[in-house]
Amino acid sequence: MARLSLRLTSFAPAALAAALATAASAAGREEVVPDRGGALWRGVATENDRDRVRHWRDAWTEALAQANRSNAAAITAGGALFDPDTALPGAQPPAGDYACRTIKLGRMPPGGSASGTLDYVEYPAFRCRISETGGRLRFTKLTGSQRPAGNLFPDNGRRLVFLGTLILGDETRALRYGRDEERDMIGILERVGDNRWRLVFPRPHYESLLDVIELTPLR
């Protein structure tokens, strides 16, 4: 992935994976998003992130148009996952561990080291977690080299809004939300099927125009 300062150690692959999972789990227990504004995400989100959600459909339309040029079959096979108008009632997923498959759609325009190189990139599933403590709902991606960590806020009956930051490589702590704009993340969580959710990040700061994380419960 572009523009990642991984700083990986000389661990063996299995040991490194275990270390990353432990570090991400610890980071997920910390409060990434300041506890202000109560349950209202707009009282916490930066202006940049509010703007990204405000124009989510534009990002989705542009990303799908690019991805369809080279990977129309994959987009069709994804069904509801890639349909911006598919959002079912009961958006909040139950607490537990999930398989999280990330798909990057569209490419960030040229001009920086974070620019994308492909219109469609699909990664294997990693482990992530939904947890709740003190009435605050958290989402944490536990494994992988790019790991969102933060809080989920109710928005309406068909979506939750994620606010958090991006943990990279072997980092053991998540930055506090709002400290580094390029690490700040905002996403929309929706249910798109039986035991199937998606977390969509419009115009992330790395590589793509739209990131889609598919969540399915681990049994």
The pLDDT of residue 8: 34
Q: What is the pLDDT of residues 60-119, one digit of tens each?
A: 999 999 999 989 999 999 999 999 999 999 999 999 999 999 999 999 876 544 555 789
Residues 103, 77: contact at Cβ < 8 Å?
no
Query: Could you tell me which of 109, 105, 115, 117 has the C-alpha nearest to residue 64?
Result: 105
Residues in the chain with pLDDT < 50? 1-28, 112-113
CA dist 180 and 200 (Å) reads 20
Q: What angle do CA 54, 59, 65 make, to 5 degrees?
A: 155
CA dist 50 and 41 (Å) reads 9
The pLDDT of residue 135: 85
The pLDDT of residue 31: 80
CA dist 67 and 71 (Å) reads 6
The pLDDT of residue 35: 74
